Amino acid sequence: MSLFDPVSALLGGALIGLASALLMMATGRIAGISGILGGCLAPAAGDKLWRFAFIAGLVLAPFASGFLGHPLPTPRMPESWAITVIAGLLVGFGSRLGSGCTSGHGVCGIARLSARSIAATAIFMGTAIVVVAIMRHGIGG
Amino acid sequence: MAALASFVCGLIFGLGLVISGMTQPQKVLGFLDIFGRWDPTLALVMAAALIVSGAGFALARQQKQPMLTAQHLWPTRTDVDRSLVVGSVLFGLGWGLAGLCPGPALVNIAGLWPSVIVFVLAMTAGMILKDLWDRRVPSAIIVGEVSLSTSTDG
């Protein structure tokens, strides 16, 4: 399960890219999950239906993957509830303030060669690497 | 029809996340842990996703309009501003702490694990807080509403 499996990684990645490409070709939208979810929550937006539909597809995907022989593995979540809550708040607030997350900036934005998205991805990935280094190996290594 | 297409895209996207292993925080953190036993999975997932979406976007640029809607809403902003930088730092802090970003978090809801549900509720609360924070600053309201239509990155 947690062994490195390059074939699944490439196949899964290609499906993520395919979904992003199809969403643009069919509906003209960027497949950025934080933007899609954030738009569902914003009171003003009048274009909520496609957003809820996309999220419904995401949430139901494990049933389709299970049918195809890829059941949803149990995620290893933080041991502390406080960290789970703090991390969730940071991910939600930060992805909205920064106008995107791993999908909107990391995939769609870099695929468009957007300087904003390349900068955002470098910043959030660099920050996350520092956090993991501190959490797992202690400050200053 | 556009909503149905959107549903199918969400399904394929989520399928890709499950198959690639990216719904598992331990694999994401394994990639971010460059000083430990490095797990290259996320790099391969991103590379494959970028090749396919890059090719797809090139096709989309050739379209006069999308198949089911009036126009492509390509992001229009090009400036690296303070919000982008600060937001990305905060997002990176949360991503590094839990190993979960919005897509995998939503896909994991299907497993009904309490820890995942708490994470998604906190993430949603964070997004609502961002909206409320915008609304306190009069000039940001205008920026916020404009960005709803075309200028958001993702």
**At B149, is the pLDDT very low, low, confident or very high (cuts 50, 70, 90)?**
very low
**Helices A81-97 and B114-136, packing angle to 10 deg:** 40
Measured distance CA(A51)–CA(A31) in Å, rounded: 10
Which residue among B9, B84, B93 places its CB closest to the CB of A90?
Answer: B93
B3-9: average pLDDT: 98
Q: What is the pLDDT of residues B118-133, one digit of tens each?
A: 999 999 999 999 999 9
Q: Which tokens go with B114?
A: 């309490």
Cβ pair A89:B94 closer than 8 A: yes
**At B37, is the pLDDT very low, low, confident or very high (cuts 50, 70, 90)?**
very high
Q: Which tokens go with B111?
A: 């497993």
Which residue among B10, B46, B110 places its CB closest to the CB of A63?
Answer: B110
Nearest C-alpha neighbor of B21 from the set A107, A17, A2: A2
| DSSP label at residue A23 | H
Q: What is the DSSP string of B52-71?
A: HHHHHHHHHHH-SS-SSSS-
B23-45: average pLDDT: 97
ipTM of the complex: 0.96
Q: How many other CB atoms are found less than 10 A from the CB of residue A43?
A: 7
Distances (CA, A) of B132 to A87, A93, B135: 19, 11, 5
pLDDT at A107: 97
Q: Which residues of B touch A38 (CB under 8 A)?
A: 127, 130-131
Measured distance CA(A102)–CA(B107) in Å, rounded: 14
Q: Which residues of B touch A12 (CB under 8 A)?
A: 15-22, 45, 48
Searching chain A, which residue's CA lies closest to the CA of residue B125? A89
Cβ pair B6:A128 closer than 8 A: no
Q: What percent of chain B has pLDDT over 90?
A: 85
Nearest C-alpha neighbor of A55 from the set B10, B91, B111: B10
Q: What is the pLDDT of residues B59-96, one digit of tens each?
A: 999 999 999 999 999 999 999 999 999 999 999 999 99
User: Is residue B46 a contact partner of residue A107, using CB atoms and an 8 Å limit?
Assistant: yes
Give the list of residues 6+ apart from residue B108 with CB closer than 8 angstroms, or none: A72, A75, B23, B100, B116
Which residue among B15, B21, B67 places its CB closest to the CB of A61?
Answer: B15
Q: What is the mean pLDDT of each run of 10 residues along chain A (141 residues)?
A: 85 98 98 96 80 98 96 97 98 97 97 97 98 87 49
**At B112, is the pLDDT very low, low, confident or very high (cuts 50, 70, 90)?**
very high
